[in-house]
Amino acid sequence: MPSPLQPLARRAAAGGLITAGLLAAGLLAAAVVPRLQAASAKDLPDPAVVETSAGGSTATATAVLAGGCFWGMEAVFEHVKGVTEVVTGYAGGPAATADYEQVSNGNTGHAEGIRITYDPAKVSYGQLLKVFFAVAHDPTELNRQGPDVGSQYRSAIFPADPEQRRVATAYIVQLNRSGVFPQPIATTVETWRGFTPAEAYHQDFVARNPTHPYVVFHDKPKVARLEAEFPGLYR
């Protein structure tokens, strides 16, 4: 079933269906679902398998990741040094169904995700994955993130090439073996089927709506954790 926050907090921002004041009065608190304690970045090992062409002659590279509502994911990676652009959007399903209303039904195959453009000479794909697993979301939750429920909120990596697939797959195995998470990692490494940017009102949502109840409760703490646990990568 859809998350109670979806038709309230999220569509309220998109279409003005209800006011943020109603959420603040108690609807947000009622929708909160307990989640596992996230692992600390200091406990996560660096990826043992790294990309062999990091830097190279490529000025920029792209990474597509999904981990719950794309608002918070976007906000986190916009604060990572070496990242030049983050776009929210849809990945994993056909282009014909890549719009918010259809994806929200949870039956399109899409996940809400982000496309990260970055300078591999300044930040590696492996470092992006470490941020992804440590602070951007909880990788042990299956087909949900906190109050958001459905396959569209799954934890997934969409490698752009065999090199990214090799690094991502090896890192998941490494993290599971390390035992830093209390449950097995649910993140899937999926086939690249393209990426469709989300509607304009979803872009830079956290930066444009800093007092939105969902942003305050779910997204800003992730950015704060990035700053606290990755001071060398935070900007």
Catalytic residues: 69
Q: Nearest Cα to 215, choosing from 80, 76, 17? A: 76
User: Within its chain, how far is the Cα of 97 from the centroid?
Assistant: 20
Tell me which residue has tokens 């300044």. Answer: 122
Size (the chain), residues = 235
Task: Tell me which long-range contacts 18-26 makes (C-beta under 8 A, separation of at least 24).
Answer: 20/211, 20/212, 20/213, 23/213, 23/214, 24/213
User: What's the number of CA atoms in the CB half-sphere (13 Å) around residue 191?
Assistant: 4
What's the angle, vertex CA 149, arms to CA 12 and CA 73, rounded to 5? Answer: 70
State how far the alpha carbon of 85 is from the alpha carbons of 18, 19, 60, 117, 148, in Å.
31, 31, 10, 5, 25
